[in-house]
Structure 1
Amino acid sequence: MNERTQVLISGGGVAGLTAALLLQSHGVRAVLVEKHASTSPQPKARRFNHRSNEVFRALGMSDAVAEASAPLASFAGMLTGPTLAEAKWPEITPAMQAGITQYGRMNDQSPAPSVLCPQDVLEPVLRRAAEDRGVSVRFSTELVSFTQSPSGITVALRSAGGEVSEVAADYLIAADGARSPVREALGIPRSGYGRLADNLDIAFRADLTDLVRDKKFNLCQIENPAASGAFVSVNGTDRWLFSTSDFAGSATLGDDGWRDLLRTVVGVPDLDVEVLSLMPWESGMYVADRYAEGRVFLAGDAAHAMPPLAAAGANAAIGDVHNLAWKLAAVLAGSASPALLDTYHAERHPLGYATAEFSSRVSGHLGTMIASVTSGEVPVDPVAALFGVQYDEGAFAPDTRGPAPSDHYAPGGRPGTRVPHAWVSPRVSTVDLAGPDFALLTSPGETHWTATAHLLGLRTVPVPDPTWLASVDLSPDGALLLRPDAIVAWHWSSDIPLSDACARILGHPAAVGG
């Protein structure tokens, strides 16, 4: 055996790189392999929501992500028209204004912003951070096979030069895309709506600064006889993407043909345009029936492929590995039993399926996505959908208050929900109090729980905000237990004692401290 590590990650995209950074933050040794020579050259996902940026914030990467997303910081909203030159902002109807108001409330619920940052810009930032922090990151290295036993995983890797080596690992994370070779090798079936649309993305370079000076858009829907689809801002100046439905003859159109088509849909006949790449892709819903098999865990597109509604797939991928990393760390450290890892599928699969299903109902391609959003119809409360989701079962001890509401945001500190945000100090949010270990949040001056927490090896943090304490139903003698991924694990209203809750969450009565 040539090498040994604790976790091997297959896939160097958003999911794999974020997993590597999270594992490193927990002190876990990881090796990341990616068969391609570099990160993705395609913009792909761009909208990284507040929850994803809370993860980057926890990793100390807020400044790096802000810098990477700065070129599109002022780009927002959706245009429609027969060409980009003729596109206009839609008329704001009362229904649309209500939707805008709902979305505007989201900024008040998080210490981190939602940003536009194309995937081909973000991934190099994540890669550099992982390498700088000592993660073994190996591009041009393909996972060709693996075997697992009750004691571990043996992985065969092939370098760009054809050399084959073996790595022994305790666990394997398959973040290797929608066509995941690891998932296929495990024989895990997928469910969902299947194929929805065949699409084609044309990345191009053209200086459109003057054209968009007064209409800095996120997306622009085009209805044109030459091609209908959507423009996407990549850097807001000279890098753009046009996404359209694939059509007969697209493979033989040629560079001149693509340049003419782009000039037509942009609406500038003499536009100086360079076609950078063409990427056919299938929009569809495919969710793995199992997110885990033995010591192998699926994450990102390997677990749930879905249409590109607000980068739902990429954001779900970050949520996957945020959920998984601390659990792997706890088991590897011996503070939790392997049974904790069963909760990864229990928590993430229902949410992944629901996200993919919702995304599929409103979008087969970007054009239908824009139409669904500009209609002004908001089928769910976006604040509740992003911040108020409650796991049905998993690594937490339920209380007796029933499920959190789904039609408005009021999680109340219920176990299985993300802890509500409030500023504890000018730079520290209650969300920031999560990790790398468990934390017991209490009222100021409380002493009973402090003594109990000490016996259990828990970190205790008083929260001085009376409004926040009321919002999570913490009286002066109350407390709630916060997981490393900012999910509430236990609430004092539970009929399960804190010590029993810790044992239930981790699989044995070991301390949950760091």
Structure 2
Amino acid sequence: MTARIPVLICGGGIAGLTAALLLHREGVAPMLVEKHAGTSPQPKARRFNPRSTEVFRLLGLMDEVEQASAPLASFTGMLTGTTLADATWPEVTDTLRERLAQHAKMPDLSPAPSVLCPQDVLEPVLRQAAAERGVSVRFGTELVAFEQDGTGITAELRPPDGEPYQVSAEYLIAADGARSPIRTALGIPRSGHGHLADNLDICFRADLAELVRDKPFNLCRIENPAASGAFVSVNGTDRWLFSTSDFPGSESLGEDGWCELLRTVVGAPDLEVEVLSRMHWESGMYVADRFSSGRVFLAGDAAHAMPPMAAAGANTAIADVANLAWKLAAVLSGKATPALLDTYHAERYPIGYATAEFSSMASGHLGTMLSAITSDDAPRIDPLATLFGVQYDHGAFVPDGRGPAPEDRYAPAGRPGTRVPHAWLDATTSTVDLAGPGLALLCGPDHTRWTAEADRLGLRLVPVSDEAWLAETELPADGALLLRPDAIVGWHSSSEVPLADALARMLNTPVEATV
């Protein structure tokens, strides 16, 4: 008899593992399958912004993530030079000074830090957490075929040993990478700038601790006749990555040739070097025209492949699954109708496309991308607004009539469709931490008017007395806002729409069904 599961996740990378953990938090028991035997052996994504680490906080994994990222905690700057040995910090121009000042304000806007944590270090943390929490995680198991109809998904899985077997699922999340076989099988086309460059990453081991002691760097741009590109810190001591343009003959260079090339761009002729791996990869912008098809949902690179210029790929993937997980949970529990799932594409597609387009503003190797974003000619954007103040145009929220949030500065003011502003409620709890499981009603200190209705509608009621936060969200003492599990505001009491009606609109249910 075919096993029936609520959600099948294909892909055991950051998107898939995070989706599994978020679904588990919302009371859903997913199954995750990954065709490879283990997590990524490559560092790949490393920078995780506060919006992503806020998700790890909600999952109770912040201690583990900070421990995993500790080796690179001080590796924050960018260098440039002809070799790593002669590389120096950039000149502090007025433009750079302004950018540094903007980034210095980030800790005031989030309970979570920005961290450098290589993907090959982070993924095992997520995998272990999923397994310890009882999530069915099956590495070495390939999804070889699937069919869907109005009642669900039937998937054929091939385990590492033994005969293929079938599982039946209500929904399928395709987190199976940029080449996504699931997206291909669905016939979903992609748009965007397409191919931009062919690149090559060389992951190597060499003791560079003394060389970088006085210049701990995140990225180091190299312009050298032998090879131009960028060094990437993996652990800050003996694991590094050099990213360059792929070139004819790279496959036949040989181990000695690669070691000699690395010695040249490091600037240390006698350096002992061990090449750990080489990975060819395409820099390009490919965004799926639809993020869902029937009961199948695309997430991460399967939905939007983008260059690493803005370090946005994995962060956008985490935001995807945070948006999707609670909606699947609400539908599966009967609290929402399947129409809620249509808002996944409506909310995430514009963000995914815009992020991929911005990340594609420079083509070439990683060093070229760094040059583009650090020059005075780079687009002037407010990182606080783009990170914390983005507003969905339409979706699972009810506008309150205040108009869109500003794009040139951080001032979301608790508008529906924006991330809830952060304020510390005590020494360890932020307003952002109140997101999920389920929906919560955050209200001012005079909350008598909301108590009975929150209980009737099945909402967690959380009084907030912080005056600065109330002022920032434009809530009076007897006001309230509805908080989604992905930390997005769904409704604000300044709206003319009553809370019960707003909840019904969000979940596409009759008012009676929300009781």
TM-score (structure 2 length as normaliser): 0.98
In 1: Cα distance, 2:196 partner to 2:469 partner: 43
Alpha-carbon distance in 2 for matches of 1:511, 1:5:
28
Q: Contact (CA 8 Å) 2:434, 2:440: kept in 1 or not?
A: yes
Asked if structure 2 preserves the Cα contact closer than 8 Å seen for 1:458 and 1:513, the reply is: no
How far 1:351 moved relative to its partner?
Answer: 0.3
Is 1:184 equivalent to 2:194 in the alignment? no
- Cα distance in structure 2, aligned partners of 1:367 and 1:290: 32
Is the CA contact 1:459–1:513 (under 8 Å) kept in the aligned structure 2? no
Change (3 A) 1:152 1:262: same
* 1:9 and 1:175 in contact (8 A); partners too: yes
Partner of 1:35: 35
Q: Aligned residue for 1:404?
A: 405
Aligned to 1:455: 456
SS in 1 for 2:271: coil
The answer as to whether partners of 1:458 and 1:511 remain within 8 angstroms in 2 is: no
Cα contact 1:47–1:310 (8 A) shared by 2: no
Question: Unpaired runs of 5+ in structure 2?
Answer: none
Task: Please give the residue correspondences for 1:353-432 in structure 2 after superposition, counting only pairs within 5 Å.
Answer: 353-376=353-376, 377=378, 379-432=380-433
Residues 197, 363 of structure 2: 8 Å contact kept: no
Counterparts of 1:482-493 in structure 2, within 5 Å, are: 482-493=483-494
Q: Which moved more, 1:9-18 or 1:160-169?
A: 160-169
Whether 1:150 aligns to 2:153 is: no
Partner of 1:175: 175
CA contact (8 A) 1:502 1:511 kept: no
Q: Equivalents in 2 of 1:280, 1:511: separation in Å?
A: 55
Counterpart in 1 of 2:445?
A: 444
Native 8 Å contact 2:500 2:511 kept in 1: no
Pairwise CA distance, 1:452:
2.1
* 1:221-242 per-position Cα deviation (integer Å, ceiling 9, x unaligned): 0000000000000000000000
- Contact 1:457/1:512 (8 A) holds in 2: no
Distance 1:34 1:439 in 2: 34
Secondary structure at the aligned position of 1:461 is classed as strand
Conservation of the 8 A alpha-carbon contact between 1:343 and 1:394: yes
Measure, in 1, the Cα distance between the counterparts of 2:128 and 2:365. 32
Distance in 2, matches of 1:75 and 1:378, equals 25
Tell me by how many angstroms 1:450 deviates. Answer: 2.0
Residue number in structure 2 paired with 1:81: 81
The CA distance in 2 between the partners of 1:509 and 1:336, in whole Å, is 9
Q: Deviations over 1:346-388 (max 9, x none)?
A: 0000000000000001354311221123224452100000000
Kindly indicate whether the alpha-carbon contact (under 8 Å) linking 1:336 and 1:510 is maintained by their aligned counterparts in 2.
no
Cα offset for 1:311? 2.4
1:309 Cα shift?
Answer: 2.3
| TM-score between the two structures when normalised by the length of structure 1 | 0.98
**How big is each residue's C-alpha offset from its partner over 1:127-154, in whole Å with a ceiling of 9 and x where there is no partner?**
0000111011111110000000101000
Rounded Cα–Cα distance in structure 1 between residues aligned with 2:394 and 2:510 = 20
- Aligned residue in 1 for 2:509: 508
Q: 2:349: which partner in 1?
A: 349
Once the two structures are TM-superposed, the CA of residue 161 in structure 1 deviates from its matched residue by 2.8
Q: Which one-letter code corresponds to 2:127 in the other structure?
A: R
Aligned to 1:193: 193
Cα displacement (A) at 1:40: 0.6
Distance 2:59 2:124 in 1: 16
CA contact (8 A) 1:438 1:512 kept: no
Distance 1:47 1:234, change over 3 A: same
Contact 2:435 2:483 in 1 (8 A): yes
| 8 Å contact kept, 1:4–1:167 | yes
Correspondence 1:21-170 to 2 at 5 A:
21-161=21-161, 163-170=163-170
Q: Tell me, what secondary structure is at the counterpart of 1:316?
A: helix
The 3-state SS of whatever aligns with 1:210 is coil
- Give ranges in structure 1 of 5+ residues lacking alignment: none
Three-state SS of the structure 1 residue aligned to 2:361 is helix
Q: Aligned residue pairs: how many?
A: 514
CA distance in 2, matches of 1:136, 1:423: 35
Aligned partners of 2:492, 2:343: CA distance in 1, in Å?
A: 19
- Residue pair 2:442, 2:464 contacting (<8 A) in 1 also: yes
Amino acid at match of 2:391: Q
Shift of 1:107: 1.6
SS, match of residue 367 in structure 2 = helix
The 5 A counterparts of 1:194-213 are 194-213=194-213
Aligned-partner SS, 2:495: coil
Structure 1 residues 428 and 225: alpha-carbon distance in aligned structure 2, compared to 1, 3 A threshold: same
Deviates more, 1:499-508 or 1:375-384: 375-384
Q: In structure 2, the residue corresponding to 1:207 is in which secondary structure?
A: coil
- Paired with 2:146 and 2:380, the residues of 1 have a C-alpha distance of 43
Pick closer, same or farther for the CA change 1:513–1:122 going to 2, 3 Å: farther
CA deviations 1:16-54 (Å, max 9, x no partner) are: 000011111111111100111110100000000000000
Change (3 A) 1:402 1:237: same
Q: CA deviation at 1:165?
A: 0.5
Q: Distance in 1 between matches of 2:259 and 2:62?
A: 38
SS state at 1:218 partner: strand
Conserved in 1, the CA contact under 8 Å of 2:446 and 2:478? no
Distance 1:130 1:160 in 2: 20
Identity rate, percent: 72
CA distance in 2 between partners of 1:16 and 1:86 (Å)? 41
